Structures are given as structure tokens and as C-alpha cells.
Structure 1
Amino acid sequence: MSLSDLHPISRRSLLGGFAATTALIVLHPFAARANGNQAHLRLMETTDIHVNVMPYDYYADKPNDTMGLARTASIIDSIRAEAGNSMLIDNGDLLQGNPMGDYMAYEKGMKAGDLHPVVKAMNTLGYDCGTLGNHEFNYGLDFMFNTLGGANFPIVCANLTKGMLADDPRKDELHFKPYTILDRKIRDGAGNENPIRIGFIGFVPPQIMVWDAKNLEGRAQTRDIVEAARAWVPVMKEEGADLIVALSHSGIDGHGQSERMENASLYLAGVEGIDAVFTGHQHLVFPGPKTWDDVPGADPVKGTLLGKPAVMGGFWGSHLGLIDLLLEKDGASWKIVDFTCEARPIYHRDDNRKIVADVSDKPEIVAAVTAEHEATLQYVRTPVGKTSAPLYSYFALVADDPSVQIVSNAQTWYIREMLKDSEYKDYPVLSAAAPFKAGGRGGSDYYTDVAAGDIAIKNVADLYLYPNTVQAVLVTGEQVKNWLEMSAGMFNQVTPGAKDAPLLNAHFPSYNFDVIDGVTYQIDLAQPPKYDGDGKVINPDANRIVNLQFGGQPIDPGRKFVVATNNYRAGGGGKFPEIAADKVIFVAPDTNRDVIVRYIVDQGEINPSADDNWSFAPNQGATAIFETGPKGRQYAKDVRGAKIEDAGDGEEGFARFRLIL
């Protein structure tokens, strides 16, 4: 029987015959039925924690029941108790993602021997292995090494090299061990302990060389994920690994394998010798409905990639990924004869769509990070200025938006000052900024919402989630138009006369919806998108961007413009046409967040009102539907440049609005 022929048992059917109570731990069927030559092994995954140790949203400055390793940790003990044998791993993106991460990096700093709060929490929980995520590199290599050096478990990564790549990946000089083989004792169905060798191999997206070039250039390089796996997995087999588990901080993309793929986990599963795959990076749940239905080779019900067990355990501690294996002794080694896969949540929504916590905090984790939590609260509550009007992002995808406007204002202010004595001082300065908190996978509360009055550091971090640095590129008017054409991939095509067509492209991330300030334009949704998500032309005759003007006149395609942006976009992040490192004319030493803080301090009081420099072109008789956070209803009447009306409640706690085109 091949692995793809196996039929996993869902947890729902598992619990169906039991009266589950808090006092009763129900053994997994594999643990209950294992014979003397069989054993049950449960592999547990956390992924994309992003420093969310506490169930607390530092941006909103309030508790949040959907997040926190302290919550996930509280179900680990019971989940271990359901199993015959268990191991706990982490799949990366630990060190950046909320103000606690920034506090540790920018205020406290990490020296060799210091313990980072997320590492303290993981040591307390007894992790067996981990790998790197792309955000581990955001604060620099030294910070990463000092932080991860405190882990009481091995960190593995097979495709991060120290320098020039050799022809053979096995000759690479690596920053971390490519894999580890852990010798464990496993208890079989008869209660006897047997030796087993379990190998873990880790991978990070090769794109870190673009996203964090300032931290990695000259110090690191990356290999293709599948290429590295094909080189190292046979070595692990030669060294006697009974099982090989891939820790892939890389998502699931079924559009065909390509070199140096960002989301390569599907094809990684196809590497001979790999027995199971833990994935991450995309902040999604696998197995699970809808998202994966059209991915060839992925079974979102069984939880398989190319027939092999696979899990993606959400993000911020929202789920614990579980792969349960029924192992059978095959001579001196072990083989998988059955499996189940699950991503178990820490919360659910009741019939009124209200979030209900399924678990409480694990006291040992809270105690481990209390000091850093309190210091972070003090850090984020520090006022830096005032705003004369609210800052919110509920309608950032349908109209010019105050939360994006303030970022652009700050970037323009900064770049003009930086270039005032340079050869570029006479070039017009534009600014590109995108909404980071715009619902989507983050949920119906995932929006910026800052009241008028004092602005604190927590509000600036809320406006700009990532510790990107400011950069400026020199581009032509034609390239500005194509930049905006790529951004307009945010929207589905809406044909004239269409009624309540879905507006937003669910596969297009909001952080790639750049609004360019300093020009005016409209987006014609009757046109199809010109580019796909990889920046490839799919409709060469399409022109969604219409009435593009600079200074009240049609933009000159050949005129040069300085555009203020961030290192991610300037380095090619998002695959925008012709926007890459060769266009960069200025690399700032400052993060975009720091620039926003300095701008607010300089102004004293800011006016974040959007200047309505973009809108949708009229579309005869058409309407479209989009979702936003229900708290946005209080601001709906203030939206300018777009005609919208309330269309009731959506799914998963969202509010629906109708855009009248």
C-alpha cells in the first residue's frame, strides 16, 4: 500500500463515539490500537508565532483570544496525553511581528547569552527542533544568532549558506546545520520502548536575499528549497534516519514548480525520502476548506501534499498543527502504515459570530515573559504627537485612505530632506505606500483604528507593521503607470452592468496594493488586470489605470520621478514590473516606522485627511461587494471618492458593503 492510499481518520470521527469532557483524555485511535510491533507518534507544530507569546494585541492595547503561544501551550499537555509518543517543533517566524519584537531589538537589544522571551517560552515547553522563517532576518544576523543561541533545541536550515554557492549543495558552508537526527525511545503498543531515529530538515524562502538584502548582502546566500532537499535527504537516509520530517517555512503553491520558489512545500513533498511536511509562511490553515480546493496534488480533507501527510498550523499561535503517525517495525527500521492530520484551534466563533476562547493561558509561559510584556506595554504607550482626525484602514482598498496617507506624507517629507543636496534634488518626489492591516486572513478586527488625539508608538507600529527601511527609486512615468497597473491586481474585473460582483482578489495581498501619492489616477475595473501575481503580462492590451496625471497634466511617460518606498518593494518584493534593486538611488539608515515617528514629532499635530488622489472610474450600472471590519461602519459616511452602502453582515465576523460604480 502506498502512502497516498491511506485514509486518515478525522478528529471529528475520533471524538464521535466518546463523551468528551475536561476530565477525560481520549487517546488517539493509533495509541489505543497499536500492536506490539506498532507505535503511535504525534508530531506537533507551531508556526508564524511572530513574537505573539501573550494573548495580547499590543497595537490595540487589549487582550485577544485568537492569539498567543501561552494559549497554544495550554493545549499541548492534553494533546501530548492523547498520544503514545510525541514531539514538538516550530516552523519559523519567531522574532519579528509585534511591538515586543521591536522592543527586544531596538530598546533592549540582545547580547550573546541573553534570553529572548519567545525563546524562554519555547524552552519552557520543551521543543525538540525548529527552523528559520524569513522574518528571523529582519533585525540582522547578529541579533538572530544571539537570540536563537539561547534555544535548548536544535535549529536547522539546509538552504542558507554563508557565501558563494558550490555546485553541490552538500559542499555549502551553512549558517546552521542542514538537518538533525534525533535518537529517541518510542513506546509500542505492548508498552515496550524501542529506539527510533527521527530526522528533521529545515528550509527558508530564498527570497530573504531580496527582502533583507541590507542585512544579508555579503554574508549569506540561499539555495532553491527542493534542490537543497534532494541533496541532503539521501544523506539523512545514509545516516540511518527512520523518518524524515521537513520543516518548511514555505507555503503551498500549485501553479507549477519553478526555480527558487517562495512557496515550494507541495513540490518539497515530492522529494523521495521525505515522510511528512510541516508548512507555514502563508498564515493559513491546512488541512482546511476552500483555500486549497483548486491546488493539484493537495488534499485539504486528508491533509496531504502529493500523498504525504502535511500540516500548516495557522499563525500567531492560533492553531497547533498535528501529524499523527501509526508506525510499524519493518526489520530494524520503522515505516508509516497510517496517519491523520489536523490543525487544532485555540478558539471558535459562537452562533453570533463572537470569538470564544477554547483554552486559557499556561501559567508557566506567562510567568516566563511577564517582565518583557510589561516593558513592551510601557514602550508602546509612549506618546509621540497628536492627530487631528482618526486614522483607520477599514476602507483602504476602495478609497484613498488616512492610514496610508500619513505613511506617504512621512516618506515624502523624509526623502525630500534626504535628497535636497543631491543630484536628484530637482526631481519630483512621489510616494508609494500600501495598507498592511486590511482584514483578509487577519480577520475582521485586523484593521488600523486610531482615535483623534495622542499618537503613541503602538499606533505607529499599527500603521506600519514591518521594520522595513526607507529606500527611493528613480523611475519613468511609464514605469509609474505599470507600477499602478500591478497594484490594480487587487481587484477582480467588474463588467458593465454587473450586480454585486466580488470586488477583491482574495489571492492578492493588501501589502502589494501600493497607492502612489503625488499623481492622480482612476482604476477602470471594466478592464482585466494587465499583470498576474508574478508580474507577468497576461492582458497586454489592458489599461486599468486611466487619467493618470502629474501636476494636472497627463503624465509624461519618459519623465523621471523619485518614488519613496521601502526596501522590500525597491528590492523587487512583490515582483512589480521593472521595480528592482537597479532602480534604487537612496538607501536610508532609518526604518519606515522611525520616519513616521520623526515626522509626527516634527509636525507636532498631523492632519491625516486623504487627498483623494485615486478613485474608481465610472462603470455603467455596475455594483461590487467587499467586506471590511464591522467597526468601520462608524466611518462609512466619511469615505470620499467612492460611493458605498451597507450590505449587511458577511462571514467570519466581517461586514459587507456595496460599491456603486
Structure 2
Amino acid sequence: MAHLSRRTFLLSSTAAGGLIMLHPYSARAAAGQAHLRVLSTTDLHCHVHPYDYYADRENHTMGMARTASIVNDIRAEATNTLTVDNGDYFQGNPMGDYIAYSRGMAAGDLHPIIAGMNTLGYDGGTLGNHEFNYGVDFMDKVNAGAEFPIVCANFARSLGATPREDALHLPPYVILDRELTDGAGETHPVRIGLIGFVPPQIMQWDRAHLEGRFAVRGIVEAARAWFPQMLEEGADLIIALAHTGISASRHEEMMENSALHLAAVDGIDAVVCGHHHLVFPSDRYSGQGIDAAAGTLMGKPAAMAGFWGSHLGIIDLMLVREGGAWRIDRSESTTRPIFERLEDRTVRPLVDSDPQVIAATQQVHEETLEYVRAEVGRTEVPLHSYFALVADDPSVQIVSEAQHWYVSDILKGTEHEGLPVLSAAAPFKAGGRGGPEYYTDVEPGPVAIMHVADLYLYPNTLMAVRITGSQVREWLERSAGIFNQVEPGAADQPLLDPGFPSYNYDVIDGVTYRIDITQPSRYDTDGELVNPDARRIVDLEFEGAPIDDDAEFIVATNNYRASGGGRFPGADGSTIVFEAPDTNRDVIVRYIVESGTIAPAADGNWNFAPADGATVLFETGPAAMRYLGEVRARGTMIEPAGEGEGGFALYRITL
């Protein structure tokens, strides 16, 4: 077994001269008993260095190099160890995009994430859904450099009559012949089976790369077929590397998040899961068959190690040798983080980066920095958010356009094809507590990936919901709660509610509407319906006609909103019809790359309803003056109104 180390004392010296406490399983194992520790990573997404390429600065919450730095110590705590990866390893940040879109992968090239994994010494891995984002040929070139087996039992070139007859693209499993050292210091042979699974939804998410060339099986269906064969071949233990999340929902054949049901299949001994970008064991998961305290799914030990290298998953198995075979006597599941968040919300790293991993990937890191700072497209117009809360805005427009482009294409060939696609987006950098400089401001000319982070701050994942016209109206009513109620004809009233976060101010593109702020808001800041008779959204139209309340629409948005964030009507998690494998940032980058040059002109699809000449005041950054003319040109009666507080500039709008 790779990375075996024998420790016969409770305390053991590390290379750095410190002491490592042995895990009780190793410290107390007797003859015929052996402690096996399974270490796992998942959803690394090419985060090798602790660096946020979007923000162009170090980030202590990420990086396989940080995770790697604790692996040796964690290995030293156990007599026998195995290290595995659970997929989504080479796509997901600008380093991954740089390799795929710019540098390329020639035969014999070593991908940086594989270089890091080889340095750390993995024993096996499987595919995640993001491995298909650049196409199967690219994936094969990346995987060719791995010094460890990569397996997947449910992804095939074609399906046979049974799973065992499928023409699989990769081996479904591997059986590792290793030796275990027991508590008496004697070595014994062991056969450890690793089997991999990928979400079946790859056929939808990467249809352009896979349709007509490949096929998938359901995860549980494939497991039921292959586990008996692994046992027939003498596997003492079967560990599933399942790139799938944990859901207590009833099992369905092509279920995306099926780790719980996979654990129930006869023959499996432990489950390494992922895909959710969460941690297990944790109180984030509950339900029948899920025991977060014991770290088990259906009684089987399981671990999910966060994402981007944030944690290392650990499954500790106390094995007993009986009749020449091994069985699990006891187990523990835990995770180890690489950082902690302090009370003041700052982040403190718990470990330094592993110097060997850094050295193996430093050149590509530096090349990525050049890439992230380089042009990925151009904009013919400025992209700024100084007036995003009071007028249709180009910084929100580009997000909406990218989301619409992506969702319109991805839904082709599905039951939702043909439904009109709308797009909801909100300004993130809009002053407030962030201060008078906290605005997006990209001048016409080159657009770099770092500018995309300015447009879209959060690592949300794109989602789409299917809702009715009446729900579109209510969504907008909820959004319009950012505005204070004003008195018709009155002068210089405050426009914005300072307690309403800008990220909850959605503009929906694809419809036109006006907002009558002489009416009270239907919803309060928390999303409670407080004025059921009030209507701020007026003249709501789709394609030039009043919207049909019973008509159905697809709305492109993000996972926060679609899952109930902000408590928006029509977006409570029950209306989701598509969960993209890509972040909203990635979608914007791909849209700009595809377009070459963008010119996201604010189309004025919303404005304020007249209020008998009432005037309202709002604050924005002083640099907004540069763009005042373009906002006026779109019909907003706006003018400077002096200095605001704390460095802000004050503006007046006549309604």
C-alpha cells in the first residue's frame, strides 16, 4: 500500500521534529487487527495554490497545496493509509481554463492538478461531472499523466444489455493488492477495491461533448452489477469513490445525489462522496439513514471533504483478520479543515502550503496570473454599477445576457425547450456598507477574467426555474421592496431602504415593467407579505403585451435565489428545473470568450412610474459623474444634488 508507515508508540516524531498523536485504532491494535485510514479530496476544481485568480489575491480557504501540507502528518497518525480523489479535479478556476483554452494539452503534457496529485501520491481517483466540460479527448490527455488509476463504472461509449456489458470508457474499478501492518507489526495481504461513479446528468450538462458518442447508467444500477464481480475477484474491502451528493429523497434510477442509496447496496464498505461542495459528517445533513454523529450513511462510513481543498476527508477503519480475510470492526469519519473563520469573519490559515506541490506547479501558477490579467474579450461600453439600483444598468445587463445565452442553449432538447427564457440578475457592488468606492467600474476596452469577478462577486452556480407569469410579477414585487414609499409631488425624499441588500434587488430581463413607488411595498425586507393589496409593479409586459399570469417561463438565476435565498415568490427550491455544472462567473467568462466583443447596452426594460413630479435622493460613488450623461440619455431625469455622507455623492431623480 502506498504511504504505509509503522508506528508502535502512542507518540511519534514528525519530520519537523514535532510529535504526532497516533489514532487510537493504531495505538491499540493487536495481532490480527489493523488500522486503515482512507484520506480523500473532492471537488478540487484545479485549486492547487491558495489563490483566488478572480480577485487576483491569496485566499486562505482554498488550495490543494494547503491540504497536502497536512496529509503527511495525518498519514503518520495511522499505521496504514490510502489516499483517493473523488472527482471534479481539473476544471473550475482560471488555471483550469488557461490550460484548456489557452495553453492546451499536447500528448505527454502534465496537467498542474495531476502534477500536484502525483507529488502527494494518490492511490486512486474517479471522474466528476466537470471533467467533461472541455470534452472527453481533453479529459483523456489530462488523465494520461496520472500515476494512479482513475475508474468510473457508469460512463460508457455505449450501453449493453446489462451494466457488465457496457463499453465503458474507463475501467469500472481497480483492486489494489497491498499489505496491511497489524498491531503486532506483522504484515498481511489485503485486496482493496476502488469503484467510481459520476452523476448521470453529465449527458445534459455537457450534451455538446457527449450526445451521440457516450452514454451513462444510474449510479446505484451500476453498483449493483459490479460489486458482486469485485467480490468474486477477491476484494476484501470495496470503497466507492462516488461523485454524488447526499439526499434523503426517495431513490430514482438516474438520481443525481445518490450517495445514501449507494451506501445501501450489498457489498459496499465505505463511501467517499462529494459534488455538493459541503462537509460530511456535519449537521448540514439529516434524514433516515443519515447519521452525522457516527459519520455513516445506511450504517456505512462516509466522508465528504468540502471543496477547493478546504478540507481533507478521513475514514478510519479498524479491520480484523479472520479466516484469511478482513472485515470492518469499527469506523470513524471526520474531516480536517485548512482554515478557521474567526469571530470578526476574517480567515486564519491553519497550515502552510506544501513546498513540493507549490514547486511542481509554480510555473503554471505564474502563467495563470498572466492569463487572468490578460484580455479575454472586449467591451465597447463601460460596465459600471453606480446607478444600478435606480436605472437599467450595463453591469447587470451583461450578467443577464450571459445567463440567457447559457440557459437557452442548455435547455434545447429537453421538455422545457420552447418556453420563453427570462434572466434575473442583481447588482452586487453597489456602495452601501462597502463604501463610496465599492462599485463595478470597467472602462471600454479589454476585459480580463479579474473584471468578471468585479461583475459577479459570488461563486454562485447558475440555475433555472420554471414559473408562471403571476410568479414573475411577485418576484419583481419582492425585488421592488428596496425602494421607500414616496409621496406624490413631494420633494427630496430618500429613495433606497438602507436595510435592503443590493443582491436581493433582481432585475428581470425579457419583460418590461414600471415600478410605482407611491405604493407601499407588498413585501418587507425579510420577504414577508405585509401589504397584500399593494401593487408596485405596473405595465408588466412580455413581447409588447400584458403578461399572461398563467403562461410559463424559464428564469435563469443563481443557486442562492432558486433555492429560496431572499424568499422570492416562485423561487423556493420547488421550481428548479436545471442546476448547471458551472458557476455564474464561468458562464460570463465563456460568454465573453464566445462573443469576442460585447456591448451590453442597458435596454431600459424597467423604470419608475411618474409620481406627480416628486423628487427622490440617493447616494452613489463620486466617480458616477463620468457616466451621468449616458443615464440621462436613457430617459432618467437625474441630476447631481451635492455631497452625501462618508465620501458618497448625492443625486436627485425627478419622477
- TM-score, structure 1 normalization: 0.69
> How far does residue 112 in structure 1 lie from its aligned partner after superposition?
2.6
Separation in structure 1 between the aligned mates of residue 333 and residue 372 of structure 2, nearest angstrom: 39
Equivalent residues of 1:486, 1:577 under 8 A apart = no
What is the match of residue 102 of structure 1? Answer: 97
> How far does residue 405 in structure 1 lie from its aligned partner after superposition?
2.3
Q: Deviations over 1:109-134 (max 9, x none)?
A: 11232111101111111100000000
* Alignment map for 1:273-312 (pairs within 5 Å): 273-289=267-283, 291-292=284-285, 294-312=286-304
What is the match of residue 92 of structure 1? Answer: 87
Task: Give the alignment partner of residue 203 of structure 1, picking from 180, 186, 197.
Answer: 197
What is the match of residue 517 of structure 1? Answer: 510
> How far does residue 406 in structure 1 lie from its aligned partner after superposition?
1.6
Separation in structure 1 between the aligned mates of residue 275 and residue 419 of structure 2, nearest angstrom: 37
Separation in structure 2 between the aligned mates of residue 203 and residue 428 of structure 1, nearest angstrom: 33
Equivalent residues of 2:513, 2:605 under 8 A apart = no
Secondary structure at 1:218 match in 2: coil
What is the match of residue 481 of structure 1? Answer: 469
Separation in structure 2 between the aligned mates of residue 364 and residue 338 of structure 1, nearest angstrom: 35
Give the residue type in structure 2 aligned to 1:374: E
Separation in structure 2 between the aligned mates of residue 308 and residue 40 of structure 1, nearest angstrom: 17
What is the match of residue 268 of structure 1? Answer: 262
What is the match of residue 457 of structure 1? Answer: 448
Distance 1:391 1:89, change over 3 A: farther
The RMSD of aligned alpha carbons is 5.0
Equivalent residues of 2:32, 2:321 under 8 A apart = yes
Paired residues, number? 531
Task: Give the alignment partner of residue 38 of structure 1, picking from 33, 39, 45.
Answer: 33
Equivalent residues of 1:464, 1:593 under 8 A apart = no
> How far does residue 190 in structure 1 lie from its aligned partner after superposition?
0.7
Asked which structure has the greater CA Rg, the reply is 2
What is the match of residue 642 of structure 1? Answer: none
What is the match of residue 110 of structure 2? Answer: 115
> How far does residue 611 in structure 1 lie from its aligned partner after superposition?
5.8
What is the match of residue 595 of structure 1? Answer: 591
Separation in structure 2 between the aligned mates of residue 239 and residue 576 of structure 1, nearest angstrom: 46
Separation in structure 2 between the aligned mates of residue 248 and residue 437 of structure 1, nearest angstrom: 35
> How far does residue 87 in structure 1 lie from its aligned partner after superposition?
0.7
Q: Deviations over 1:225-258 (max 9, x none)?
A: 1111011011111110000001110000112111
> How far does residue 97 in structure 1 lie from its aligned partner after superposition?
0.6
Equivalent residues of 2:470, 2:549 under 8 A apart = no
Q: Deviations over 1:196-245 (max 9, x none)?
A: 00001111000011111000011111111111101101111111000000
Kindly indicate whether residue 369 of structure 2 is the aligned counterpart of residue 377 of structure 1.
yes
* Alignment map for 1:528-547 (pairs within 5 Å): none
Give the residue type in structure 2 aligned to 1:120: A
- TM-score, structure 2 normalization: 0.69
Secondary structure at 2:34 match in 1: strand
Distance 1:455 1:62, change over 3 A: farther
Equivalent residues of 2:191, 2:236 under 8 A apart = yes
Q: Deviations over 1:524-576 (max 9, x none)?
A: 769xx9xxxxxxxxxxxxx999974236641257999999999xxxxxxx996
Give the residue type in structure 2 aligned to 1:35: A
> How far does residue 372 in structure 1 lie from its aligned partner after superposition?
1.1
> How far does residue 486 in structure 1 lie from its aligned partner after superposition?
12
Tell me, which stretches of 5 or more residues in structure 2 are unaligned? 1-9, 11-15, 409-417, 480-498, 516-520, 528-534, 559-572, 580-585, 610-619, 626-655
Give the residue type in structure 2 aligned to 1:239: E
Task: Give the alignment partner of residue 132 of structure 1, picking from 122, 127, 130.
Answer: 127
Equivalent residues of 1:45, 1:322 under 8 A apart = yes
Distance 1:207 1:520, change over 3 A: farther
**Identity rate, percent:** 49
Give the residue type in structure 2 aligned to 1:353: R
Kindly indicate whether residue 344 of structure 2 is the aligned counterpart of residue 344 of structure 1.
no
> How far does residue 368 in structure 1 lie from its aligned partner after superposition?
1.0
Separation in structure 1 between the aligned mates of residue 136 and residue 364 of structure 2, nearest angstrom: 22
Kindly indicate whether residue 48 of structure 2 is the aligned counterpart of residue 53 of structure 1.
yes
Separation in structure 2 between the aligned mates of residue 63 and residue 592 of structure 1, nearest angstrom: 22
Q: Deviations over 1:19-40 (max 9, x none)?
A: xx98110101001000011000
Secondary structure at 1:162 match in 2: strand
What is the match of residue 149 of structure 2? Answer: 154
> How far does residue 166 in structure 1 lie from its aligned partner after superposition?
2.4
Kindly indicate whether residue 546 of structure 2 is the aligned counterpart of residue 554 of structure 1.
yes
Distance 1:547 1:168, change over 3 A: farther
Separation in structure 2 between the aligned mates of residue 298 and residue 486 of structure 1, nearest angstrom: 37
Secondary structure at 1:361 match in 2: coil
Equivalent residues of 1:431, 1:565 under 8 A apart = no
What is the match of residue 327 of structure 1? Answer: 319
Secondary structure at 2:276 match in 1: coil
Distance 1:591 1:71, change over 3 A: closer
Separation in structure 2 between the aligned mates of residue 514 and residue 228 of structure 1, nearest angstrom: 44
Distance 1:412 1:188, change over 3 A: closer
Secondary structure at 1:235 match in 2: helix
Separation in structure 2 between the aligned mates of residue 340 and residue 36 of structure 1, nearest angstrom: 21
Separation in structure 1 between the aligned mates of residue 58 and residue 94 of structure 2, nearest angstrom: 14
Distance 1:392 1:147, change over 3 A: farther
Equivalent residues of 2:153, 2:197 under 8 A apart = yes
What is the match of residue 616 of structure 2? Answer: none
* Alignment map for 1:593-632 (pairs within 5 Å): 593-596=589-592, 601-603=597-599, 612=606
Q: Deviations over 1:401-449 (max 9, x none)?
A: 8654222346789999xxxxxxxxxx999653557999xxxxx9xxx97
Give the residue type in structure 2 aligned to 1:58: Y
Separation in structure 2 between the aligned mates of residue 358 and residue 319 of structure 1, nearest angstrom: 11
Task: Give the alignment partner of residue 355 of structure 1, picking from 347, 368, 376.
Answer: 347
> How far does residue 457 in structure 1 lie from its aligned partner after superposition?
2.1
